[in-house]
Structures are given as structure tokens and as C-alpha cells.
Amino acid sequence: MDNDSIRSVGATTLVEIWIDGKLRSICVTRAAIEESLGLAPDQAKALSDDDRCEFVRQHMAAVVKAARDWLRDGHAEASSIIIDTGQLPRKGAPRVGDRRKGERRKTERRTVDRGRPEGERRVAGRRKGERRRTTPPKPSDG
């Protein structure tokens, strides 16, 4: 992302990005950034323009997702999008896509020699060595 593609303009932070085959301007309001970070009012005043640009740069996936959601809600031809409070995920909120509760692999994946199952009719193991079947010799004419 170029340095000049994310910039602060007044109370919004502007990003120009290609979404769904069209160049679109996304304006993220200061209130949306403050709400997403969960800042107190006194901390919100200390948020500089550079801090807001950096927030948008670090959370670009969430900004684009919010923009795509807005476009799907009936504004498909819009070239400018405003993201306000309630459209960005809050800090510390659980991620929607992460459904795993624990480790995926529950057991050891290596096969373990378990021996013969009960009720096995074979007395010996598989045919090996001298007990192996061989083709019978051909009868000789004579």
C-alpha cells in the first residue's frame, strides 16, 4: 500500500482501493476508529491523524470487509463508502471465523502395531520364508 493512499481528511481517514473491480474511496470516521479501539473519551482526544492512518493500515482487512458488506446491502454501484460506528469489529471481540475451540488433532496419528485381533483364525503370521507357497514342479514327459 502506498503512503499516499491512506490519508486523514478532517474527521475521517480516506483510503482508495480496488473493490469488486472498481476503484472506491472508503472514508473511516474517527468515531468508528475510537469505538473499534475501545478508547475512553480522554484517550480519543489524543488520537492523532497518523495514529488513525496507521489503524486503517493495520486493520485493512476489517475495513474492506465492512465496505464489501455495505456494498452488498444494495449500494453496489457506489464509488464512495463511509464506514461509521458499529461497522468495524471491536477490540477484544471474538473473531467470527475462528470456530476451533482447541487442538484439531485429538490422537496420535502414527499407526501402532496392535497385534492380531481376537478371533483370528490364522495360526501363524503371514506366509514367510520356507512356508511360502511355491509353484509345483512341472511334470516331466518321460
Please, which residues have CB within 8 angstroms of residue 46's CB and are 6 or more apart in sequence?
Answer: none
> Residue 66 carries which side chain, given as an amino acid letter?
A
Cα-to-chain-centroid distance, residue 118: 46
pLDDT tens, residue order, the chain (142 aa): 454 589 888 889 999 999 888 899 999 998 898 888 888 877 878 888 888 899 999 999 999 999 999 888 888 888 899 998 888 888 765 555 556 666 666 666 676 667 667 766 666 656 555 655 667 778 877 5
Sign, CA torsion 32/37/39/44: negative
The pLDDT of residue 16 is 92
Predicted structure pTM score? 0.59
Cell of 91: 477490540
Total Cβ atoms within 10 A of residue 142:
3
What's residue 26's pLDDT? Answer: 92
Domain boundaries, the chain: 3-83
For domain 3-83, give the CATH number: 3.30.160
What is the helix (H) or strand (E) element at residue 66, kind and residue range? helix 60-72
